[in-house]
Chains A and B, each alone.
Chain A
Amino acid sequence: MTAALLERTIALIGAIVVAVTACVQLKDDWKASGLDAVITKLLLGLMAFGCVLALLAALNVVGVH
């Protein structure tokens, strides 16, 4: 197993875990109000999106040069 393959595997698993957790937290906090809650929801959402990007990178769908 090459280093790159190992990295991508761990990244894939990690990305799925983190993305799912972030989405669950987002769903739980959806109704919260207040400036800090709004910002938290926005940033959690963007983080989940980042995990999706990392997932796609791990699968070699994006980031292939």
Chain B
Amino acid sequence: MKSIEMQAVEARYNDVDAVYHETRDLRLLGFVFFLISDCILFSSFIFAYVYLRTSAPTWPPFVDGHQLPWFDTSYAALNSVVLFGSGVTMHYALENWKHLNRQAFYAWLVATIILGLAFLGGQAHEWTGVLQAGVTWPGSTMGASFFTLTGLHGFHVFIGVCYLTILGIQAHKGVYTGSKYFGLTAGTLYWHFVDVIWVALFFLFYLW
């Protein structure tokens, strides 16, 4: 009975495809550049937030004579851990695929999607709480920056969840093999990227 490692090696040996490997290189670099440009997008809005916050006379700002409340750090810490956990589960999913453990791959992928949806649900709850506390999108620069940035991030998470679901369906259909799985790599990188952006936003809105 061949070991997992030997099976993986054989799968690669028999599945050599020069055209695939050449285009995989191109696609990987293109995808990394895409992530860099996405980083610039977030950085621009983060610049706007930092500028508005540092030039405001007080923070949180005053609206209609009342000072707006700070955000709920403990809740956000929990939600952040949910998202970071999903990053780890996605990493396990990809590792299992590379070692040809399909069942484990699906299990970890589903776990990632569930945690991602849980994060989005948590964000929705956070948003209702923030709105109830009087911080609205058009009402103040605090709301403007918070809802724009977390909204942009949440949109990216939503796209990520859709992307991972599609990857799962494609894997089920047999699109990916033991040595040709660039879509899965790209999906994992995208998911980690979305995670790391959240690290920055968590710091900027909740810890600063």
Interfacial residues, chain A to chain B (CB-CB below 8 A): 4-5, 7-8, 10-11, 14-15, 17-18, 21-22, 25, 35-36, 39-40, 43-44, 46-47, 49-51, 53-54, 57-58, 62-65
Contact = CB atoms under 8 A, between A and B. Distances in A.
5 contacts: A4-B72, A11-B77, A22-B91, A25-B91, A51-B81
Contacts of A43: 87, 189, 192-193, 195-196
Contacts of A4: 72, 74-75
Contacts of A64: 73
Of the listed residues A5, A40, A64, the one surrounded by the most CB atoms of chain B closer than 10 A to its CB is A40
Contacts of A57: 73-74, 76-77, 202, 206-207
B78 interface: yes
Contacts of B95: 25
Nearest to A65: B70
A62 B206 CA distance: 9
Given A25-B91, A43-B189, A47-B84, 16 more contacts: A5-B74, A15-B77, A22-B87, A22-B88, A35-B28, A36-B28, A36-B185, A39-B189, A43-B87, A44-B91, A44-B192, A47-B88, A49-B199, A50-B196, A50-B198, A53-B202
Interface in B44-79: 70, 72-78
B160 to A, nearest CB: 13
A39 B33 CA distance: 11
Main secondary structure of the interface of B (DSSP, over half): helix
Nearest to B199: A50
Report, nearest first, the 6 A-B pairs whose CB atoms are least far apart: A50-B199, A14-B81, A43-B192, A63-B73, A11-B77, A65-B70
Dominant secondary structure of chain A at its interface with chain B: helix
A53 B207 contact: yes
B32 interface: yes
A8 B202 contact: no
A3 to B, nearest CB: 8
Nearest to A15: B81
B82 interface: yes
Given A8-B74, A36-B28, A18 B207 contact: no
B145 interface: no
B148 interface: no
